[in-house]
Amino acid sequence: MRHNELKAKALSNSKVQAAYDEMVPEFMILRQMLKARQKAGLSQAEVAARMGTKAPAITRLESSLGNGKHSPSLATLQKYASAVGCELQVKFVQP
């Protein structure tokens, strides 16, 4: 079974769909982080060095957003943004 088929099958369950919908903001942030790191041409180790930490911490940070087990602080997101040459902006918008 292909990924898209598996995803569609899983999301046909209303409980799975609801849980997935709750994680959309985290997935969006993760995609932005990975895109910014890639655009900056940096490895996790290089981002870690710029943040004053170790590569496994960046691995945990990036994976935590994908699995919903941890929400990083704004201070951590700011450090990450700065490390990849970006500015963190937080907005409240009407859906």
Q: Both tokens of residue 31?
A: 């995609």
pTM of the shown model = 0.80
Q: Both tokens of residue 7?
A: 């995803």
Q: Is the pLDDT of residue 68 over 70?
A: no
- Average pLDDT score, the chain: 91
pLDDT in tens, 13-42: 999 888 888 888 888 899 999 999 999 999
Ordered by where they begin, the domains of the chain are: 23-95 (1.10.260.40)
pLDDT of residue 13: 92
Q: Are 51 and 83 in contact (CB under 8 A)?
A: yes
**Conformation bin of residue 68: beta by default, left when phi > 0, alpha when psi is -120 to 50:** left
**Distance between alpha carbon 20 and the CA centroid of its chain, in Å?**
14
